[in-house]
Amino acid sequence: MRLKRPPASSSLSDKDDNGWLVTYSDAITLLLAFFVILVSVSEVNEGRLQELEQGITSITSTTKTSMPFSELKKDITSVLEQNDMAELADVSVDKKGIKIEFANKALYGSGDAQIKSQMLPVIDQIAEVINNSNVENQMVEIEGHTDDIPIHTLTYPSNWELSSARAVAIVKRLALQGVKKQELKAVAYADSRPKVELSTAQDVTAARAENRRAVIYIRRP
């Protein structure tokens, strides 16, 4: 019996059937490259990114996770509302994480760095929220800001010393309430980071009041 040779076109047919894989892989490679470029030129919002990560983790894992930024913001906002701080403090999520901004008059007297006695319970409650967030190696950064009016006293020769002392006062209070020292950082900006530029302000006095502030950032590792 004579064996029949298979049609020569069958091998070509197999190649044709798999040819789409080459085009598909090229498309996936180009799409991946596009997203790499997109991420590299984008400004990453750590707060939003962490919220997304926590949401995905809560769905895919049964283990206990750290408190997401949305929940942390809710708890801190609740603390401020309970202490009638709505007009003197603000909580937001930005690219660094959770931002708690206090008007200077809420925390300190004029030209002073001692936290007002009525504000100590508020700082203590914020420390409790931070401690309950169950996050390893988080960073709690406190910024001190002043206006542009120079100060010159024996205690504070310039606005740098004043803004530093104000930030350190909050750091020390948070540490006293159990926030880990290695997670705390004090930063002095004096009048170098104004919230409102005086050159464009319609009310300079009001602008200076806004520039005098203290900021607590809670950042994830």
Average pLDDT over residues 27-43: 68
Q: Name residues whose C-beta falls within 8 Å of residue 101's C-beta, 6 or more positions apart in sequence.
A: 89, 90, 91, 92, 213, 214, 215, 216
- Structure tokens given for 128: 């409790």
Give the separation between CA 54 and CA 123, rounded to whole angstroms.
26
Least confident span in 97-106, 131-140, 154-163 = 131-140
Pairwise CA distance, residues 186 & 171, whole Å: 7
Q: Sorting pLDDT into bands at 50, 70 and 90, what band is 33?
A: confident
Hey, what domains does the chain have and what are their CATH numbers?
69-219 (3.30.1330.60)
Report the 10 Å Cβ neighbour count for 111.
12
Euclidean distance between the first and final Cα of the chain, in Å? 77
Residue 60's pLDDT band, with cuts at 50, 70 and 90, is: very low
Q: Where is 81: in which H helix or E strand? A: helix 69-82
- DSSP-derived secondary structure letter, 198: G
Question: pLDDT band for position 220 (50/70/90)?
Answer: confident
Whole-number pLDDT of residue 63: 42
